[in-house]
Structure 1
Amino acid sequence: MTARPVPHSGAGVTQYLQLASILRHQIAHGELVSGQRLPTVLQLAGQYKVAGITVRQAYGLLKTEGLITSDRGRGTYVSAPAASMTANMHAAINDPRASDVRFEVLEQRYGVNLPEPLSRGAAADSSYKSYTFIRKIHVQDGEPFCLAEIYVASEIYQRFPEGSEQQHKIAYLLNEYSKSRMLKMQQTLTVAPADMVLAQALGCSFATPMAHMVRRISDASGHIAYAGLFWYRGDRFVLESEYPFELWLSYPGVAVPQTLG
């Protein structure tokens, strides 16, 4: 891979974080493999046109993450293999019934309104007068992978067994305990770097790539029974979709709705 100079970011992400992100990406994608010797500080500084202190700071950050190690006189080496996405991780993200997930509830509020950005596209005469807000972290294999902020219609939440939001995904509980049949699920996915709040909550570095999901579930009347914001660590995220080819070909709105609200 040809190295490009790390841009001077001004008020944006500092250079050492950008350089660390480049090296982290190369490790995660197998371009730098476990046991491989990394360039010296001087070599990497010349390669990416940055100061030596920038390289030392980037290396220091990757050491704290356990991705590299260094010994005086021997050099700096990749110490972690490329991360692999396990079957359990696939299920933890894509299956609402996934059982191999632990939930840490950080906050709950009752009788709140659905925020305007999440209520777009909802039927104007919504029968859901208030929502319960749940903020929680999803953990799989001992590692946090998602921070979720979910609003579920209060009248449906009241039917959930006590404490069930700490045992199951809210979408699963919605299906199990709502009197109304859910008709439509809509998702919008974007990618952005982690801010300090996300980095601390999910145990990753500042500016680590994050997958940001907005999800809404509506009943047969078009009323939003569930809406949520989800932030997934980029190194622990995969979204799976499967459609009959003819359906996707003739109706692309199945995968990419014409109106995302």
Structure 2
Amino acid sequence: MSGTLALIGSGNVGGAIAKLAVDAGWTVVLSNSRGPETLAELVASLGDRATAATAEEAVAKSDLVVVSVPLLAYRNLPADQLAGKIVIDAINYYPQRDGDIAELESGELTESGLLQRALPGARVVKAFNNIVFRHLADLPRPSGSPDRATLPIAGDDESAKAEVTRLLDDLGFDALDYGTLADSWRSERDMPAYVAPYHEPAPEGLDLQEYAGWVYLTAAAAPASAEKISALLASATRETTAHEAVDISRF
């Protein structure tokens, strides 16, 4: 499988996904809130398969769209252009950055549910949100490799999830479908399947802030099997208080 992948948000996560896609033979079109000209260095580093555009232009050229922006920026997404598109939601909610969002705090909606409501014509699939960009870049393996990592996906549209599964396979990962958008809280921030399965054991004695810095700056990648991710997703509960979380998005 190959095609054109649009990135709305081209920071650490978007850049890592773009590099994997280019290496796998995909064409990528990158966009951000600051304009295509600010992406010239990243585009140059990715080679001939990469270009920069406005979000609207990127979506128009794409087969799949990855959204990797701060959560509140979902209000600025080109909803009309995204109608009918498969939208991969790599967003995480950090109250310290995004402010309190009552529907997320209460569990009334998941992050992806919020995005789907804002993009009623899109086919939203949750993916890429539970792994840091360095480990995403380090863990791809050929299909069938015993140490291939598994990434969870969730969505309401079965054909959309099948397309995202094929994309992940191209990028070097297995996919684990764990349900609908209503289930997608299981891979959100602070849940057992979030970040920790993909790195080496953490040093003892780290507080939350020290752990966050270690994960994003130092920790070596470690593959997580489908069995491990499945068990972690199943063990998730909603007991974590959002305000106790450390905003590791800033590292």
Higher percent of residues as helix: 2
Higher percent of residues as strand: 1
Query: Does TM, scored on the shorter chain, surpass 0.5?
Result: no
**TM-score bracket for the superposition, by shorter chain length:** under 0.3
**Bigger-Rg structure (1/2):** 1
